[in-house]
């Protein structure tokens, strides 16, 4: 039986001048690093999307996400890299 650690964390990311709470969960079935991410809108609706690391850059894989999320793609990737480099997930 193989033990696979579940990576799950929350980070505040500044998007369009506003701090938003992003929840991350690592998906272990992908060749490339892949995270499922969710965030709430101002109205309380939850948006769920996937982000994957290809060629050393994080790219949102889910089509039709709101523009404010697309524009924050780099900041979301930085938040993931910060958490993974913290050493808590070895």
Q: Is residue 47 part of a domain?
A: yes
Q: Is residue 4 part of a domain?
A: no
Q: Is residue 3 part of a domain?
A: no
Alpha-carbon gap, residue 68 to 87, rounded angstroms: 30
Contact 7, 25 (CB under 8 A): yes
> Torsions phi, psi of 76, nearest 5?
-65, -40
Contacts of 75 (CB under 8 A, 6+ apart): 13, 14, 15
Q: What is the pLDDT of residues 67-86, one digit of tens each?
A: 999 999 999 999 999 998 88
Helix (H, G, I), strand (E, B) or coil at 58: strand
Q: Is residue 17 part of a domain?
A: yes
Q: Is residue 33 part of a domain?
A: yes
**Number of compact structural domains in the chain:** 1
> Torsions phi, psi of 21, nearest 5?
-90, 115
Structural domain boundaries enclosing 27: 9-85
User: Does the global pTM surpass 0.85?
Assistant: yes
Q: What is the pLDDT of residues 11-65, one digit of tens each?
A: 999 998 899 999 999 998 767 889 999 999 999 999 999 999 988 999 999 999 9
């Amino acid at each position: 039986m193989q033990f696979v650690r579940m990576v799950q964390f929350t980070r505040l990311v500044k998007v369009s001048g506003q701090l938003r709470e992003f929840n991350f969960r690592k998906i272990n079935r992908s060749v490339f690093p892949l995270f499922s991410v969710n965030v709430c809108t101002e109205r309380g609706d939850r948006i769920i999307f996937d982000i994957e690391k290809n060629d050393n850059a994080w790219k949102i894989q889910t089509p039709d996400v709101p523009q404010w999320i697309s524009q924050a793609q780099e900041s979301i990737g930085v938040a993931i890299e910060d958490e993974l480099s913290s050493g808590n997930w070895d």
